[in-house]
Amino acid sequence: MNSSLFLSRRRLFGVAGLLAASGLAAACGASGTGSSAGSSASSARASEADDPTAIATDAYVFGYPLVLMDATRAAAAPANTLLRYTTTPSPDDKIVVTPNVDTLYCQTWLDLSHEPQVIQIPDVKDRYWLAQVMDMWTNTVHDPSSVSPQLAAGAPAGPFTYAVTGPRWSGDLPAGVTRLSVPTDSAWIIVRVALNGANDVPAVVDIENQIRLMPLSRYRTDPTAQTPSSVPQNLTAAPARIVAGMDGTAFFTKLAALLTRYPATQADGAAMTRFASIGIKPGANVAALTASVLDAGATAGKRAIAAYQNPGAKNLNGWVYATNLGTYDTDYQLRANTALTTLAANLPGDSLYPMLNDVPAKPNGYRLHFPAGLLPPAGAFWSITAYTADHFLVPNPDRIYAIGHSPDPVANPDGSVDLTLAPNKPGPQVPEGNWLPVPGNGTFNLAMRIYAPKPAAVSGGWKPPALTPIG
């Protein structure tokens, strides 16, 4: 696969920081808050709640994930086709921050308005895979994996065959096919397959080539039909930039149109009634509304999304991560901020990403010490990747960008594990899988990835160790 196609994948996933980079992160939080006390504060909040600009602001926050998902879909490969990726990032790739070197991806955008689509994952032995199924509101509604295939009764344990159905479909499925129902007429599926180092790429590509995607009607007549790879419709699109560039009228016009195809849920009823009070509703003629109010609401909405701080985030020994992502109910601020910073965030039961940011570089580097039995509690595998101050892979002659698996770190005689994070290759006393190159000056960042985390990682009962300087 050529490099331009690889970059397109990174564009589709690379939405983090785009609004923040434009200066919006310095703005205030969401509307509806105040610092006054007593009855005057209550009156102020009530007045603000009825203010058209405040309502438009909240409507922007509400609708941002849907509009972003639609822009991402428009830039992707045509609907109901499979896009496979066969390369891994390098330090020269500067499109998306904190790139992942642990897995290769396949993805598809499904149009479920006519009939279900069938996706089949091959019977992969001793290798982690995850098929993340998202609706148009960014909720992960299904997550079959090698750890938990989530098969219907009687379905064979490989190959794993799923029929993704839209909200209005009813009918029977062929034997051995598991139904995955989605509440919107479009769905985004990202399949991740574990990669055990650069030399493992051909084996993963072979697995990707065995993944099948076809309409249910085709599956009924020819279930073994092969699925060719497709290409993106727009190699240069940056969906988050496109949405950020919309003025109020453009954004709310798009949102009103999308709401007719992807209706809000019953739980959103109160919010939709409030938005409708200023004319923002499914199919509305937004051009007839006051443009200055829509523009002010869009501007304030962008600021609120970028400024939002997740109260559910954990900070353990400096490692920061969230365990409340992937499905959002009516937490509109969390949903919007996650779409901006981490579009396609996994459920906490599928993966966790503790981050350690702005680490001052030291000539002798650092050590991470895991006591015996306290390695990251993963049901699949774990890794630690180093990034530059700009969140790109760290250049190094050994081309080591992550450690934790392939090869597994070597334990000390007492069962503990020491990892050395240093700019220069250590002596023979540090095994190959225990050294991660990091910058020798400035600052750097670390990302720990835990795939299929065990309950102790999700609850915070297990804590990542602190980073300690060497020497």
- Concatenating the DSSP letter of every residue in 21-59 gives HTTGGGS---SS-----HHHHHHHHHHHHH-HHHHHHHH
Are 246 and 254 spatial neighbours (Cβ–Cβ below 8 Å)?
yes
- What's the residue count for the chain? 471
Q: What is the pLDDT of residues 435-458, one digit of tens each?
A: 999 999 999 999 999 999 999 999
243 pLDDT band (50/70/90 cuts)?
Answer: very high
* Gap between the Cα atoms of 357 and 165, Å rounded: 41
The closest alpha carbon to 109, from 77, 85, 131, 64, belongs to 77
* Gap between the Cα atoms of 76 and 91, Å rounded: 24
84 has pLDDT over 70: yes
- Structure tokens of 350? 């599928």
Are 113 and 416 spatial neighbours (Cβ–Cβ below 8 Å)?
no
- Give me the mean pLDDT over the 30-37 stretch: 37
- Look at the domain 83-221 and name its fold: Immunoglobulin-like (2.60.40)
10 has pLDDT over 80: no
Q: What is the pLDDT of residues 123-173, one digit of tens each?
A: 998 899 999 999 999 999 999 999 999 999 999 999 999 999 999 999 999
219 has pLDDT over 90: yes
pLDDT number for residue 226: 87
- Look at the domain 354-469 and name its fold: Jelly Rolls (2.60.120)
* Gap between the Cα atoms of 203 and 182, Å rounded: 31
The closest alpha carbon to 280, from 305, 257, 306, 308, belongs to 257
Within 10 Å of residue 35's Cβ, how many Cβ atoms? 6
The closest alpha carbon to 167, from 187, 150, 190, 140, belongs to 187
372 has pLDDT over 50: yes
Q: Kindly list the domain boundaries of the chain, sorted by start residue.
A: 8-74+239-309, 83-221, 354-469
Are 131 and 145 spatial neighbours (Cβ–Cβ below 8 Å)?
yes
Bridge partners (DSSP) listed for residue 316: 319
Cα dihedral 150, 131, 133, 357 sign? positive
- Structure tokens of 166? 């839209």
Are 180 and 110 spatial neighbours (Cβ–Cβ below 8 Å)?
no
Nearest 5°: phi and psi at 5? Answer: -70, -40
pTM of the model: 0.88
Query: H-helix or E-strand containing 258?
Result: helix 248-261
- Give me the mean pLDDT over the 274-298 stretch: 96
* Gap between the Cα atoms of 223 and 120, Å rounded: 10
pLDDT number for residue 307: 97
In 96-176, at which residue ranges do the beta strands (DSSP E only) sit?
A: 103-111, 117-121, 129-134, 140-142, 160-165
